[in-house]
Amino acid sequence: MSDNSETDYEVGQDNVQIMGLDVHNPVFAVSGLTIIAFVFFSLVFREQAAEFFGWLRPALTSKFDWVFMLACNIFVVFSILLIVTPYGSIRLGGDDAKPDYSYAGWFSMLFAAGMGIGLVFWGVAEPISHYGASLGGVAVGEDGVRTDWAPLGAGLEDPEASRKLAMAATIFHWGAHPWAIYAVVALALAFFSFNRGLPLTMRSVFYPIFGEATWGPLGHIIDVLAVFATIFGLATSLGLGATQALAGLNYLFDVPVTDGMKVLLIGLITAFALISVVAGLDKGVKRLSEANMILAAALLLLVLIVGPTVAILTGFFDSLFEYVVALPTLSNWVGREDTNFMQGWTTFYWAWWISWSPFVGMFIARISKGRTVREFVICVILIPTVVGALWMSVFGGAALDQVMSGNGQELSDAALELKMFTMFEAFPMTGLLSFIGIILVVVFFVTSSDSGSLVIDTITAGGKTDAPTAQRVFWCILEGAIAIVLLLGGGLGALQAAAVATGFPFALVLMLMCVSIFIGLENERRRR
């Protein structure tokens, strides 16, 4: 184990320049060719692909749910320790480093990258799903195993208890745990890049553990895994976004919901992402992220104003309290009887967040220079958790108010991707709300795609952040292609299976990353 992070390795020293490209050998070739082969075989053997994805997700979530649950609990505890220990005073980039972005720009980018499409897709759908399952109560099969999808002990046919449980479970899935995953990866990348001058790639994080072996085959495996996790995690979100955007367009303008339209929509949005990718981080991603936040805030305020305002606001504080109370039980995996909920919802979510973590983590790392570790962890975990809870309370609270008042049968019965648009029917300005919702999904879609392309390109360019634009274009197109293939080869189930499959090996990588961060911060503290 290395006692410091000093190395003679230079950024890009293993790169090859060919046909105007500047790529890491062999990370770019292995990643690119493997993913292209996956796309090809999934298109040629669609039936077999659908069957495989249908088997894969439940197989992983049932056998390795404890790995995901344990790992994410470790990330939360580790992050809290960083806040309360002396390590929190260490500044990313050195004692004299200044932040590159204002708080407003910083929050906009990290939030848009971290949760965008998911919040819009699940903001209404998830609370309604948990509420319906909780209200239905516990159902047990002949083998004594629960067959319902309710969280914990369900709501025992009590509407108010079911509402509280539904909101607590929803905030749990969008709160401290996923943001702790992002914080671990982002902090590791930022610290070893800005404080130690190592390349901005996943392998650099493990230099304190593996020493010079980090730059060899072991490092290649880590970076290739990071590319796989990122691109399949992104494809899951892009597929969700396309499904919801098309459902909204069908709802507003009678655009047909067909596979051809899904392919066309993903193609068009990928084209917009390409324009942003070519514009670069400051001109493209930053401006789009800020536009996103303005649109999201506008939609949030409109729903708050035209919806049951008092019920939503009181429900927000009530839901946050219920989340904190239920957190220890929801985080525990031992002796749980609600296996459908834990494996089908929580384990999938944790795998999805972990598969997103190289992408979101590297993106947050690039924009976080100059922040102290304490400031970084608080801002990356606590503030987004509260904002996410507010979003879910506004959209979920408004939807639950409709259902609990007896006027929401159509909302309960609507498909997942249509639930938000169905909820808007009960409000004034239905068309405006729905149109803003579609635009928001599309812009979140674009930001996720272009910022993901920047991140994958950085990894496959050996840590270079100024690699040729053509490489980012290649990855952007490939992201769109994978989203199309997964949607055609099994729909939402295939998307979720891909996220779980790539999240599992990376969960182990992230736990090792915590050890590496501790070693790095301890060495930094001794140097001061």
Give the type of residue at 318.
Answer: D
**pLDDT over 70 for what percent of the chain?**
95
Q: What are the backbone angles phi and psi of residue 358, rounded to the nearest 5°?
A: -65, -40
- ω into residue 127 within 30 of 0, thus cis? no
Supply the mean pLDDT for the chain: 88
Q: Which residues contact 214 (CB under 8 A, 6 or more apart)?
A: 9, 203, 204, 206, 207
> Any idea which of 7-16, 167-176, 393-402, 487-496 has the lowest mean pLDDT?
487-496
Q: What is the pLDDT of residue 280?
A: 63
Q: What is the pLDDT of residue 286?
A: 67
Q: Which residue has the tokens 């709300």?
A: 433
> Any idea which of 51-65, 82-96, 282-296 has the lowest mean pLDDT?
282-296
Q: What is the pLDDT of residue 464?
A: 84
Q: What are the backbone angles phi and psi of residue 94, rounded to the nearest 5°?
A: 105, 165
Given a cut of 50, whether residue 151 has pLDDT beyond it is yes
In this prediction, residues 100-111 reach a mean pLDDT of 79
In this prediction, residues 245-265 reach a mean pLDDT of 89
Query: Highest mean pLDDT range out of 28-32, 37-41, 73-77?
Result: 73-77
Q: What is the pLDDT of residue 58?
A: 84
Handedness of CA 174, 175, 178, 179 (dihedral sign): positive
The distance in angstroms from the start CA to the end CA of the chain is 21
> Is residue 119 within 8 Å of residue 391, measured between CB atoms?
yes
In this prediction, residues 280-298 reach a mean pLDDT of 74
Q: Which residue has the tokens 């140097």?
A: 527
In this prediction, residues 206-212 reach a mean pLDDT of 93
pLDDT band at 180 (very low <50, low <70, confident <90, very high): very high
In this prediction, residues 130-152 reach a mean pLDDT of 92
> Is residue 206 within 8 Å of residue 486, measured between CB atoms?
no
Among 198, 127, 115, 209, smallest CA distance to 164 is for 127
Distances from the Cα of 53 to the Cα of 58, 76, 245, 346, angstroms:
9, 30, 24, 19
Helix-strand-coil split of the chain, %, nearest 5: 80, 0, 20
Q: What is the pLDDT of residue 396?
A: 96
Q: 232 or 169, which is more confident?
A: 169
Q: How far apart are the C-alpha atoms of 381 and 412, rounded to whole Å?
A: 32
Among 213, 214, 92, 209, smallest CA distance to 516 is for 209
In this prediction, residues 452-473 reach a mean pLDDT of 85
Q: Which residues contact 458 (CB under 8 A, 6 or more apart)?
A: 200, 201, 362, 464, 465, 467
* Residue 372 CB coordination number (10 Å): 16
Handedness of CA 381, 243, 397, 414 (dihedral sign): negative
pLDDT band at 283 (very low <50, low <70, confident <90, very high): low
pLDDT band at 132 (very low <50, low <70, confident <90, very high): very high
pLDDT band at 454 (very low <50, low <70, confident <90, very high): confident
Given a cut of 50, whether residue 2 has pLDDT beyond it is no
Q: What is the pLDDT of residue 489?
A: 72
Given a cut of 70, whether residue 285 has pLDDT beyond it is no
> Is residue 450 within 8 Å of residue 456, measured between CB atoms?
no
Q: 102 or 68, which is more confident?
A: 68
Q: What is the pLDDT of residue 1?
A: 42
**pLDDT over 90 for what percent of the chain?**
47
Give the type of residue at 526.
Answer: R
pTM of the model: 0.90
In this prediction, residues 362-387 reach a mean pLDDT of 90
Given a cut of 50, whether residue 348 has pLDDT beyond it is yes
Domains and CATH numbers, the chain: 15-527 (1.10.4160)
Given a cut of 90, whether residue 481 has pLDDT beyond it is no
Q: What are the backbone angles phi and psi of residue 462, rounded to the nearest 5°?
A: 70, 25
